[in-house]
């Protein structure tokens, strides 16, 4: 049984209480699946547990900020000793397969997938309203899609599980290629978009909407360079008029204005509530600093620059980007983590339109300038960006300035084939090509012990 424990982190369900509001992430019981799935309330409880997996420290609660941002060039870790230097090693491209960040994230994400798969396997056996049933399926499939999107971007080929795998079948697990992972992600998001509502009542704020599903699907298509498909779904999001840019960019991250009209999907937290808050992001020590190349990239008039400047929360000795500043309760914060917001949608759509065909007029410039003017910058025209290449570079620049610390920069560098050159220019560090994806956790390699079906990523052997 030990051999399969990492793929089956739990053989029981641990879900949030259906008797409490959606945001409540506290587990209330440990229940065998066969005894649990009886009513529609059980299904709601189960999908709440799927959401809760995203908030854990192994994902957006802590580890993703290291894996998805420390690897890039928006901040610099100058602390080679804390956490046995493992975060520092990721920041400086000297990590190895034994780094516990990899193990924690791998197990955490597969735990979330296990929860989604268990729910999706059992829910058809529940007699309940079909519209609600399909909505809950769609929520679970969105979360599973997000999980696999993160896995494939971090590690490349990974095991693709769409059912609640048991220990007997786990012996056959293998690393499925990235194309198969992306195909499943697309299918899950297409189903989600077709079965989710546009909005929810206040009590369910934070559940996945069809706009969030379409927005994430557009992002997936962009990574696959399926530009026409991406344009279609992202235009649906824009035309829906459900989401909009807030007039002031700082308000997007206000802790008193959470899940505002710019947020398509965020991982939710509650300050001052045990197991529903989180430690401060990017504030582990004063030796972790916002990279000077990011701050220098802003124009002085750019209203986003203050959001990237490092500040201290009250009563806290650590520094952190103002974007995620929250006054602590019991030493922890409670702001939500924005996974996808409307500014990202507009920048993606502008990029996609330009990649298909540069145009001196039209929506690509319109969407780009919406981002620029909200930031207090002048509009640009074809006189400033006269061709596809110059427009592309401005989009890349705006993505860095608009989305720092939101777990996009590292992946943007990789998907646009700029990681090696940008890291050398900004961090003055050579980035070996094999480090564009992470090593499979050594614990997984040792447990599977099969180089044919479960090899280590090249360069990390």
Q: pLDDT digits over 69-113, tens only?
A: 999 999 888 889 888 999 999 999 999 999 999 999 999 999 999
- Name the residue range of residue 144's domain: 1-209+265-293
Q: What pLDDT was estimated at residue 289?
A: 83
In a domain, 438, yes or no: no
Cα angle 347-351-355, degrees, rounded to a multiple of 5: 170
In a domain, 62, yes or no: yes
Closest CA to 20 of 29, 12, 11: 29
What the block records as the tokens of 198 is: 């546009």
Instruction: Dump pLDDT digits (tens) for 444-455.
Output: 999 899 999 999
Q: How many helices (H) and strands (E) does the chain have?
A: 17, 6
- Packed helices 227-239 and 210-223: angle between N→C axes, nearest 10 degrees: 150
Alpha-carbon gap, residue 402 to 367, rounded angstroms = 13
In a domain, 396, yes or no: no
Q: What pLDDT was estimated at residue 236?
A: 98
Alpha-carbon gap, residue 149 to 233, rounded angstroms = 17
Name the percent of the chain in helix, strand, coil, to the closest 5. Answer: 50, 5, 45
In a domain, 458, yes or no: no
Q: Which residues lie below 8 Å from residue 318, measured CB to CB, with a gap of 6+? A: 280, 283, 284, 285, 286, 312
What the block records as the tokens of 270 is: 């509650």
Rounded (10°) CA dihedral 341, 342, 348, 352 = 150
Report whether 65 contacts 57 (CB < 8 A): no
Q: Is 389 exposed, middle or buried (0-12, 13-18, 19+ CB in 10 A)?
A: exposed
In a domain, 18, yes or no: yes
Alpha-carbon gap, residue 235 to 213, rounded angstroms = 13
Alpha carbons within 13 angstroms on the beta-carbon side of residue 284 total: 20
pLDDT in tens, the chain (461 residues): 233 333 333 333 444 333 445 555 444 334 555 567 899 999 999 999 999 999 999 999 999 999 999 999 998 888 898 889 999 999 999 999 999 999 999 999 999 999 999 999 999 999 999 999 999 999 999 999 999 999 999 999 999 999 987 666 666 799 999 999 999 999 999 999 999 999 999 999 999 999 999 999 999 999 999 999 999 999 999 999 999 999 999 999 999 999 999 999 999 999 989 889 998 898 766 677 899 999 999 999 999 999 999 888 877 777 889 999 998 888 889 999 999 999 999 999 999 999 999 999 999 999 999 999 999 999 999 999 999 999 999 999 999 999 999 999 999 999 999 999 999 999 999 999 999 999 999 999 998 999 999 999 999 99
- For residue 82, the domain's CATH number is 1.25.40.390
Closest CA to 406 of 253, 259, 300, 272: 253
Q: SS3 of 124, please?
A: helix
Report whether 349 contacts 231 (CB < 8 A): yes
- Packed helices 178-195 and 130-155: angle between N→C axes, nearest 10 degrees: 150
What the block records as the tokens of 161 is: 């599980």
Report whether 368 contacts 347 (CB < 8 A): yes
Report whether 215 contacts 169 (CB < 8 A): no
Alpha-carbon gap, residue 170 to 188, rounded angstroms = 22
Phi and psi at 150, nearest 5°, equal -70, -45
In a domain, 195, yes or no: yes
Closest CA to 391 of 421, 414, 362, 365: 365
Put simply, whether the predicted model's pTM sits higher than 0.85 gets the answer yes
Q: What pLDDT was estimated at residue 22?
A: 55
Report whether 118 contacts 46 (CB < 8 A): yes
Q: What pLDDT was estimated at residue 180?
A: 98
Count how many domains the chain has: 1
What the block records as the tokens of 247 is: 């007039």
Q: SS3 of 146, please?
A: helix
User: 319: left (phi > 0), else alpha (psi -120 to 50), else beta?
Assistant: beta
Report whether 233 contacts 193 (CB < 8 A): yes
In a domain, 84, yes or no: yes
Rounded (10°) CA dihedral 158, 418, 324, 336 = -30
Secondary structure (DSSP) of 412-436: HHHHTT-HHHHHHHHH-----GGGG
What the block records as the tokens of 14 is: 């641990």
Q: What pLDDT was estimated at residue 16?
A: 39
Q: Which residues lie below 8 Å from residue 322, measured CB to CB, with a gap of 6+? A: 306, 307, 308, 309, 310, 311
What the block records as the tokens of 56 is: 């854990």
In a domain, 230, yes or no: no
Q: What pLDDT was estimated at residue 23?
A: 55
DSSP state of 173: -
Alpha-carbon gap, residue 140 to 147, rounded angstroms = 10
H-type helices in 290-405, by residue range?
Answer: 292-297, 305-308, 342-356, 363-374, 388-402
Q: Which residues lie below 8 Å from residue 421, measured CB to CB, with a gap of 6+? A: none
Q: What pLDDT was estimated at residue 327?
A: 87
Report whether 323 contacts 308 (CB < 8 A): yes
Tokens 């870790």, located at residue: 77
């Amino acid at each position: 049984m030990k051999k399969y424990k990492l793929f089956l982190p739990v053989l029981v369900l641990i879900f949030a209480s259906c008797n409490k509001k959606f945001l409540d992430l506290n587990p209330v019981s440990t229940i065998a699946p066969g005894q649990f799935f009886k009513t529609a309330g059980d299904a709601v409880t189960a999908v709440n547990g799927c959401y809760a997996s995203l908030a854990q420290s192994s994902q957006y609660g802590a580890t993703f900020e290291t894996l998805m941002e420390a690897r890039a060039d928006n901040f610099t870790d100058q602390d080679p000793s804390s956490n046995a230097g493992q975060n520092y090693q990721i920041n400086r491209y000297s990590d190895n397969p034994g780094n516990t960040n990899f193990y924690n994230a791998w197990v955490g994400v597969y735990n979330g997938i296990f929860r989604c798969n268990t729910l999706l396997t059992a829910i058809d056996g529940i007699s309940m309203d079909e519209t609600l049933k399909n909505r809950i399926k769609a929520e679970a499939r969105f979360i599973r899609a997000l999980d696999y999107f993160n896995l494939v971007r971090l590690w490349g080929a990974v095991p693709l599980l769409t059912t609640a795998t048991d220990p007997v079948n786990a012996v056959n697990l293998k690393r499925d290629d990235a194309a198969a992972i992306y195909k499943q992600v697309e299918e899950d998001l297409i189903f989600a978009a077709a079965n989710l509502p546009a909005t929810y009542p206040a009590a369910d704020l934070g559940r996945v909407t069809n706009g969030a599903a379409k927005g994430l699907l557009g992002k997936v298509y962009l990574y696959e360079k399926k530009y026409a498909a991406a344009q279609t779904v992202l235009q649906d999001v824009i035309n829906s008029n459900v989401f909009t840019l807030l007039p002031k960019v700082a308000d997007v991250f206000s802790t008193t204005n959470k899940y505002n009209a710019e947020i398509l999907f965020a991982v939710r937290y509650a300050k001052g509530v045990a197991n529903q808050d989180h430690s401060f992001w990017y504030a582990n020590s004063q030796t972790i600093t916002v990279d000077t190349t990011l701050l220098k990239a802003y124009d002085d008039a750019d209203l986003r620059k203050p959001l990237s400047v490092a500040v201290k929360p009250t009563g806290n000795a650590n520094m952190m980007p103002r974007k995620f500043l929250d006054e602590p309760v019991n030493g922890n914060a409670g702001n939500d983590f924005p996974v996808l917001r409307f500014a990202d949608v507009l920048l993606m759509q502008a990029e996609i339109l330009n990649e298909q065909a540069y145009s001196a007029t039209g929506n690509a410039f319109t969407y780009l300038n919406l981002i620029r003017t909200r930031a207090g910058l002048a509009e640009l025209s074809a006189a400033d960006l006269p061709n596809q290449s110059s427009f592309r570079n401005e989009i890349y620049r705006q993505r860095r300035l608009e989305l720092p610390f939101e777990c996009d920069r590292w992946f943007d560098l990789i998907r646009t084939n700029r990681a090696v050159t940008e890291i050398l220019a900004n961090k003055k560090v050579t980035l070996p090509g094999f480090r564009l994806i992470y090593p499979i956790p050594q614990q997984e390699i040792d447990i599977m012990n099969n180089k044919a079906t479960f090899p280590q990523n090249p360069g990390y052997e």
